[in-house]
Structure 1
Amino acid sequence: MITERPDPPRQGDERETLRVYLDFHRATLAMKCADLSTEDLRRQSSPPSTLSLLGLVRHMAEVERTWFRRVINAEDIPLVWSDSFDFQAAYDASDCTREEAFAAWENEIEHSRRIELAAESLEVTGYQPRWGEHVSLRMIMLHLIHEYARHNGHADFLREAIDGVTGA
Protein backbone atom coordinates (compact mmCIF):
# COMPACT_ATOMS: atom_id res chain seq x y z
CA MET A 1 0.00 0.00 0.00
CA ILE A 2 1.28 3.44 -0.90
CA THR A 3 1.61 5.51 2.24
CA GLU A 4 2.03 8.85 0.52
CA ARG A 5 -1.17 10.74 1.12
CA PRO A 6 -2.86 12.49 -1.79
CA ASP A 7 -3.43 16.22 -1.53
CA PRO A 8 -7.20 16.81 -1.55
CA PRO A 9 -8.34 19.28 -4.21
CA ARG A 10 -9.18 22.78 -3.07
CA GLN A 11 -11.68 23.30 -5.90
CA GLY A 12 -12.45 19.81 -7.20
CA ASP A 13 -15.91 18.60 -7.99
CA GLU A 14 -17.83 16.67 -5.36
CA ARG A 15 -16.92 13.18 -6.54
CA GLU A 16 -13.23 13.92 -6.98
CA THR A 17 -13.13 15.54 -3.54
CA LEU A 18 -14.82 12.56 -1.88
CA ARG A 19 -12.55 10.12 -3.73
CA VAL A 20 -9.34 11.91 -2.76
CA TYR A 21 -10.37 12.43 0.87
CA LEU A 22 -11.19 8.73 1.14
CA ASP A 23 -7.77 7.85 -0.29
CA PHE A 24 -6.19 10.39 2.08
CA HIS A 25 -7.68 8.57 5.07
CA ARG A 26 -6.78 5.14 3.70
CA ALA A 27 -3.18 6.32 3.34
CA THR A 28 -3.24 7.75 6.85
CA LEU A 29 -4.08 4.34 8.33
CA ALA A 30 -1.31 2.77 6.26
CA MET A 31 1.14 5.42 7.52
CA LYS A 32 0.19 4.70 11.13
CA CYS A 33 1.11 1.04 10.52
CA ALA A 34 4.31 1.68 8.55
CA ASP A 35 7.54 0.04 9.66
CA LEU A 36 5.90 -2.04 12.40
CA SER A 37 6.16 -5.81 12.82
CA THR A 38 3.19 -8.14 13.07
CA GLU A 39 3.76 -8.30 16.82
CA ASP A 40 3.74 -4.50 17.12
CA LEU A 41 0.59 -4.27 15.00
CA ARG A 42 -1.13 -6.87 17.20
CA ARG A 43 -0.41 -4.93 20.39
CA GLN A 44 -3.71 -4.30 22.15
CA SER A 45 -4.63 -0.85 23.34
CA SER A 46 -6.12 -1.72 26.67
CA PRO A 47 -6.68 -5.40 27.38
CA PRO A 48 -9.14 -7.04 27.53
CA SER A 49 -10.08 -4.92 24.49
CA THR A 50 -8.77 -6.54 21.32
CA LEU A 51 -8.31 -3.16 19.59
CA SER A 52 -4.97 -3.00 17.79
CA LEU A 53 -3.59 -1.45 14.62
CA LEU A 54 -3.83 -4.82 12.88
CA GLY A 55 -7.41 -5.15 14.12
CA LEU A 56 -8.21 -1.72 12.65
CA VAL A 57 -6.79 -2.79 9.28
CA ARG A 58 -8.91 -5.96 9.39
CA HIS A 59 -12.00 -3.97 10.42
CA MET A 60 -11.54 -1.51 7.56
CA ALA A 61 -11.28 -4.43 5.12
CA GLU A 62 -14.73 -5.49 6.37
CA VAL A 63 -16.07 -1.94 6.07
CA GLU A 64 -14.81 -1.54 2.49
CA ARG A 65 -16.17 -4.98 1.52
CA THR A 66 -19.57 -4.38 3.11
CA TRP A 67 -20.31 -0.93 1.74
CA PHE A 68 -18.92 -1.24 -1.77
CA ARG A 69 -19.23 -4.91 -2.66
CA ARG A 70 -22.22 -6.05 -0.58
CA VAL A 71 -24.28 -2.82 -0.65
CA ILE A 72 -23.47 -0.98 -3.90
CA ASN A 73 -22.53 -4.02 -6.00
CA ALA A 74 -25.11 -6.34 -4.34
CA GLU A 75 -22.56 -9.17 -4.10
CA ASP A 76 -23.72 -12.07 -1.94
CA ILE A 77 -20.40 -12.67 -0.19
CA PRO A 78 -19.47 -13.28 3.44
CA LEU A 79 -17.37 -10.96 5.54
CA VAL A 80 -13.62 -11.43 5.32
CA TRP A 81 -13.05 -12.40 8.97
CA SER A 82 -16.42 -13.74 10.13
CA ASP A 83 -18.87 -16.25 8.69
CA SER A 84 -21.54 -15.05 11.13
CA PHE A 85 -21.42 -11.36 10.14
CA ASP A 86 -19.79 -10.39 13.42
CA PHE A 87 -17.97 -7.13 12.65
CA GLN A 88 -16.25 -7.27 16.05
CA ALA A 89 -14.41 -10.46 15.04
CA ALA A 90 -12.10 -8.44 12.80
CA TYR A 91 -10.64 -6.62 15.80
CA ASP A 92 -9.16 -9.83 17.19
CA ALA A 93 -5.98 -10.07 15.13
CA SER A 94 -4.20 -12.46 17.52
CA ASP A 95 -3.80 -15.17 14.87
CA CYS A 96 -3.32 -12.93 11.83
CA THR A 97 -0.14 -11.71 10.22
CA ARG A 98 0.62 -8.26 8.85
CA GLU A 99 0.76 -9.77 5.36
CA GLU A 100 -2.67 -11.43 5.65
CA ALA A 101 -4.42 -8.36 7.02
CA PHE A 102 -2.88 -5.92 4.57
CA ALA A 103 -3.48 -8.22 1.59
CA ALA A 104 -7.19 -8.44 2.50
CA TRP A 105 -7.50 -4.70 3.12
CA GLU A 106 -5.68 -3.72 -0.08
CA ASN A 107 -7.79 -6.21 -2.06
CA GLU A 108 -11.00 -4.69 -0.71
CA ILE A 109 -9.77 -1.16 -1.43
CA GLU A 110 -9.09 -2.14 -5.05
CA HIS A 111 -12.61 -3.57 -5.36
CA SER A 112 -14.03 -0.40 -3.78
CA ARG A 113 -12.15 1.86 -6.18
CA ARG A 114 -13.25 -0.19 -9.19
CA ILE A 115 -16.90 -0.13 -8.08
CA GLU A 116 -16.85 3.61 -7.35
CA LEU A 117 -15.22 4.43 -10.70
CA ALA A 118 -17.75 2.28 -12.57
CA ALA A 119 -20.74 3.91 -10.87
CA GLU A 120 -22.60 6.31 -13.12
CA SER A 121 -22.95 8.94 -10.41
CA LEU A 122 -23.01 9.56 -6.68
CA GLU A 123 -26.78 9.00 -6.91
CA VAL A 124 -26.32 5.25 -7.49
CA THR A 125 -27.89 3.36 -4.60
CA GLY A 126 -27.57 0.01 -2.94
CA TYR A 127 -29.65 -1.70 -0.29
CA GLN A 128 -28.27 -1.73 3.27
CA PRO A 129 -30.12 -4.56 5.04
CA ARG A 130 -29.05 -3.51 8.55
CA TRP A 131 -30.71 -0.14 7.97
CA GLY A 132 -33.59 -1.53 5.91
CA GLU A 133 -33.22 1.08 3.17
CA HIS A 134 -31.33 2.11 0.06
CA VAL A 135 -28.32 4.38 0.45
CA SER A 136 -26.45 6.44 -2.13
CA LEU A 137 -22.83 6.10 -3.18
CA ARG A 138 -22.42 9.67 -1.90
CA MET A 139 -23.55 8.63 1.58
CA ILE A 140 -21.30 5.58 1.50
CA MET A 141 -18.23 7.58 0.57
CA LEU A 142 -18.98 10.12 3.30
CA HIS A 143 -19.59 7.29 5.76
CA LEU A 144 -16.25 5.68 4.93
CA ILE A 145 -14.42 9.00 5.29
CA HIS A 146 -16.03 9.32 8.72
CA GLU A 147 -15.20 5.72 9.63
CA TYR A 148 -11.55 6.07 8.62
CA ALA A 149 -11.19 9.45 10.36
CA ARG A 150 -12.58 8.04 13.60
CA HIS A 151 -10.37 4.97 13.49
CA ASN A 152 -7.34 6.98 12.45
CA GLY A 153 -7.75 8.81 15.75
CA HIS A 154 -7.54 5.43 17.47
CA ALA A 155 -4.54 4.59 15.32
CA ASP A 156 -2.77 7.75 16.52
CA PHE A 157 -2.97 6.59 20.13
CA LEU A 158 -2.11 2.98 19.31
CA ARG A 159 1.00 3.96 17.36
CA GLU A 160 2.18 6.38 20.03
CA ALA A 161 1.84 3.65 22.67
CA ILE A 162 3.96 1.27 20.56
CA ASP A 163 6.96 3.46 19.77
CA GLY A 164 6.18 7.08 20.58
CA VAL A 165 5.64 8.09 16.94
CA THR A 166 3.08 10.88 16.63
CA GLY A 167 1.79 13.19 13.94
CA ALA A 168 0.71 12.86 10.33
Structure 2
Amino acid sequence: MTIERIDPPRQAGERETLRAYLDFHRATLAMKVEGLTDEQLRRRSMPPSTLSLLGLVRHLAEVERTWFRRVVGGEDLPLVWSDEGDFQAAFDDSGSTGASAFAAWQEEVAHSRHIERAAESLDLTAYQPRWGEHVSLRLIMLHMIHEYARHNGHADFLREGVDGTVGP
Protein backbone atom coordinates (compact mmCIF):
# COMPACT_ATOMS: atom_id res chain seq x y z
CA MET A 1 0.00 0.00 0.00
CA THR A 2 1.36 3.41 -0.94
CA ILE A 3 0.64 6.23 1.46
CA GLU A 4 -0.35 9.54 -0.10
CA ARG A 5 0.79 12.56 1.87
CA ILE A 6 -0.49 15.87 0.56
CA ASP A 7 1.27 19.08 1.48
CA PRO A 8 -0.94 21.50 3.41
CA PRO A 9 -2.19 24.49 1.41
CA ARG A 10 -0.07 27.63 1.43
CA GLN A 11 -3.15 29.84 1.60
CA ALA A 12 -6.38 28.61 3.13
CA GLY A 13 -8.79 29.29 5.93
CA GLU A 14 -7.95 28.35 9.49
CA ARG A 15 -9.99 25.17 9.66
CA GLU A 16 -8.84 23.87 6.28
CA THR A 17 -5.22 24.56 7.28
CA LEU A 18 -5.52 22.81 10.64
CA ARG A 19 -7.26 19.82 9.05
CA ALA A 20 -4.60 19.59 6.32
CA TYR A 21 -1.69 19.76 8.76
CA LEU A 22 -3.25 17.08 10.96
CA ASP A 23 -3.80 14.83 7.95
CA PHE A 24 -0.24 15.52 6.79
CA HIS A 25 1.08 14.27 10.13
CA ARG A 26 -1.26 11.28 10.15
CA ALA A 27 0.09 10.30 6.71
CA THR A 28 3.65 10.78 7.96
CA LEU A 29 3.06 8.25 10.73
CA ALA A 30 1.61 5.78 8.22
CA MET A 31 4.68 6.24 6.01
CA LYS A 32 7.02 5.56 8.94
CA VAL A 33 5.48 2.14 9.61
CA GLU A 34 4.78 1.13 6.01
CA GLY A 35 6.28 -2.15 4.89
CA LEU A 36 7.61 -3.33 8.26
CA THR A 37 7.05 -6.74 9.85
CA ASP A 38 5.61 -7.11 13.34
CA GLU A 39 9.09 -7.91 14.62
CA GLN A 40 10.46 -4.71 13.10
CA LEU A 41 7.54 -2.66 14.44
CA ARG A 42 8.28 -3.98 17.95
CA ARG A 43 11.98 -3.09 17.83
CA ARG A 44 12.90 -0.83 20.75
CA SER A 45 14.83 2.38 20.51
CA MET A 46 17.46 1.88 23.21
CA PRO A 47 17.49 0.67 26.81
CA PRO A 48 15.84 1.50 29.09
CA SER A 49 13.18 2.87 26.71
CA THR A 50 10.47 0.50 25.57
CA LEU A 51 9.32 2.82 22.79
CA SER A 52 8.56 1.14 19.47
CA LEU A 53 6.82 2.05 16.23
CA LEU A 54 4.01 -0.36 17.09
CA GLY A 55 3.62 1.32 20.47
CA LEU A 56 3.43 4.72 18.80
CA VAL A 57 0.65 3.59 16.45
CA ARG A 58 -1.27 2.18 19.41
CA HIS A 59 -0.71 5.36 21.41
CA LEU A 60 -1.94 7.60 18.61
CA ALA A 61 -5.07 5.47 18.20
CA GLU A 62 -5.68 6.13 21.89
CA VAL A 63 -5.07 9.86 21.49
CA GLU A 64 -7.48 10.07 18.54
CA ARG A 65 -10.20 8.23 20.48
CA THR A 66 -9.72 10.26 23.62
CA TRP A 67 -9.79 13.71 22.08
CA PHE A 68 -12.42 13.25 19.40
CA ARG A 69 -14.78 10.51 20.54
CA ARG A 70 -14.54 10.84 24.30
CA VAL A 71 -13.99 14.60 24.68
CA VAL A 72 -15.62 16.25 21.64
CA GLY A 73 -18.16 13.51 20.94
CA GLY A 74 -18.93 12.90 24.61
CA GLU A 75 -18.95 9.14 24.04
CA ASP A 76 -18.79 7.07 27.20
CA LEU A 77 -16.42 4.37 26.02
CA PRO A 78 -13.21 2.88 27.40
CA LEU A 79 -9.77 3.55 26.08
CA VAL A 80 -8.77 1.46 23.08
CA TRP A 81 -6.15 -0.56 24.97
CA SER A 82 -7.26 -0.32 28.61
CA ASP A 83 -10.63 -0.72 30.30
CA GLU A 84 -9.05 0.70 33.47
CA GLY A 85 -8.10 4.05 31.92
CA ASP A 86 -4.35 3.35 31.83
CA PHE A 87 -3.02 5.51 29.00
CA GLN A 88 0.40 3.82 29.22
CA ALA A 89 -1.10 0.44 28.21
CA ALA A 90 -1.00 1.57 24.57
CA PHE A 91 2.79 1.46 24.60
CA ASP A 92 2.77 -2.26 25.54
CA ASP A 93 2.96 -3.81 22.09
CA SER A 94 3.48 -7.40 23.26
CA GLY A 95 -0.07 -8.55 22.58
CA SER A 96 -0.62 -6.70 19.32
CA THR A 97 0.16 -7.05 15.66
CA GLY A 98 0.96 -4.27 13.25
CA ALA A 99 -2.18 -5.05 11.26
CA SER A 100 -4.47 -4.89 14.30
CA ALA A 101 -2.86 -1.72 15.68
CA PHE A 102 -2.94 0.01 12.30
CA ALA A 103 -6.59 -1.00 11.76
CA ALA A 104 -7.55 0.36 15.20
CA TRP A 105 -5.66 3.59 14.48
CA GLN A 106 -7.32 3.98 11.05
CA GLU A 107 -10.75 3.38 12.61
CA GLU A 108 -10.15 6.05 15.23
CA VAL A 109 -8.86 8.50 12.60
CA ALA A 110 -12.04 7.93 10.56
CA HIS A 111 -14.19 8.67 13.65
CA SER A 112 -12.10 11.76 14.39
CA ARG A 113 -12.48 13.12 10.89
CA HIS A 114 -16.24 12.60 11.01
CA ILE A 115 -16.57 14.33 14.40
CA GLU A 116 -14.40 17.26 13.36
CA ARG A 117 -16.26 17.78 10.09
CA ALA A 118 -19.64 17.62 11.86
CA ALA A 119 -18.68 20.34 14.34
CA GLU A 120 -20.14 23.73 13.49
CA SER A 121 -16.92 25.62 14.12
CA LEU A 122 -13.53 25.56 15.75
CA ASP A 123 -15.12 27.50 18.61
CA LEU A 124 -17.04 24.42 19.73
CA THR A 125 -16.03 23.56 23.28
CA ALA A 126 -15.97 20.28 25.14
CA TYR A 127 -15.01 19.29 28.65
CA GLN A 128 -11.59 17.65 29.06
CA PRO A 129 -11.77 15.81 32.42
CA ARG A 130 -8.02 15.28 32.74
CA TRP A 131 -7.49 19.05 32.54
CA GLY A 132 -10.65 19.89 34.46
CA GLU A 133 -11.80 22.51 31.96
CA HIS A 134 -13.53 23.14 28.65
CA VAL A 135 -11.37 23.34 25.54
CA SER A 136 -12.12 24.46 22.00
CA LEU A 137 -11.97 22.27 18.92
CA ARG A 138 -9.32 24.72 17.71
CA LEU A 139 -7.10 23.85 20.68
CA ILE A 140 -7.75 20.13 20.15
CA MET A 141 -6.72 20.34 16.50
CA LEU A 142 -3.54 22.21 17.45
CA HIS A 143 -2.85 19.74 20.26
CA MET A 144 -3.26 16.81 17.84
CA ILE A 145 -0.86 18.38 15.34
CA HIS A 146 1.65 18.84 18.17
CA GLU A 147 1.13 15.26 19.36
CA TYR A 148 1.72 13.80 15.91
CA ALA A 149 4.67 16.07 15.11
CA ARG A 150 6.41 15.12 18.35
CA HIS A 151 5.81 11.40 17.90
CA ASN A 152 6.70 11.49 14.21
CA GLY A 153 10.10 12.75 15.34
CA HIS A 154 10.37 9.65 17.51
CA ALA A 155 9.21 7.55 14.56
CA ASP A 156 11.99 9.01 12.38
CA PHE A 157 14.65 7.70 14.75
CA LEU A 158 12.90 4.39 15.35
CA ARG A 159 12.51 3.68 11.63
CA GLU A 160 16.12 4.58 10.92
CA GLY A 161 17.16 2.14 13.65
CA VAL A 162 15.04 -0.62 12.12
CA ASP A 163 16.18 -0.54 8.50
CA GLY A 164 18.11 2.67 7.87
CA THR A 165 15.19 4.43 6.18
CA VAL A 166 15.26 8.19 6.67
CA GLY A 167 13.18 11.00 5.33
CA PRO A 168 9.71 12.22 4.86
Same fold per TM (> 0.5)? yes
Could you tell me whether the CA contact under 8 Å between 1:2 and 1:27 is conserved in 2? Answer: no
User: Once the 2 structures are TM-superposed, how far is the Cα of residue 6 of structure 1 from its aligned partner?
Assistant: 1.4
CA distance in 1 between partners of 2:22 and 2:2 (Å) = 14
Task: Please give the residue correspondences for 1:30-69 in structure 2 after superposition, counting only pairs within 5 Å.
Answer: 30-69=30-69
Unmatched runs of 5 consecutive residues or more in structure 1: none
Q: Deviations over 1:49-81 (max 9, x none)?
A: 221000000000000000000000100000000
Q: Deviations over 1:13-51 (max 9, x none)?
A: 000000000000000000000110111001111234221
Q: Does 1:83 align with 2:83?
A: yes
| C-alpha RMSD of matched pairs (Å) | 1.1
> What is aligned with 1:122?
122
User: Once the 2 structures are TM-superposed, how far is the Cα of residue 2 of structure 1 from its aligned partner?
Assistant: 6.1
CA distance change for structure 1 residues 2 and 17 in 2, over 3 Å: closer, same or farther?
farther
Task: Please give the residue correspondences for 1:98-137 in structure 2 after superposition, counting only pairs within 5 Å.
Answer: 98-137=98-137
Q: Deviations over 1:99-123 (max 9, x none)?
A: 1100100000000000000000000
Q: Does 1:153 align with 2:153?
A: yes
Q: Where do 4+ consecutive residues of structure 1 move more than 3 Å?
A: none
> What is aligned with 1:140?
140
Range that drifts further, 109-118 or 76-85? 76-85
Q: Does 1:71 align with 2:71?
A: yes
State the AA in 2 paired with 1:51. Answer: L
Range that drifts further, 40-49 or 92-101? 40-49
Aligned residues: 168
How high is the TM-score relative to the length of structure 2?
0.97
CA distance in 2 between partners of 1:163 and 1:50 (Å) = 18
Q: Percent identity?
A: 74
Q: Deviations over 1:131-160 (max 9, x none)?
A: 000000000000000000000000000000
Unmatched runs of 5 consecutive residues or more in structure 2: none
User: Once the 2 structures are TM-superposed, how far is the Cα of residue 130 of structure 1 from its aligned partner?
Assistant: 0.6
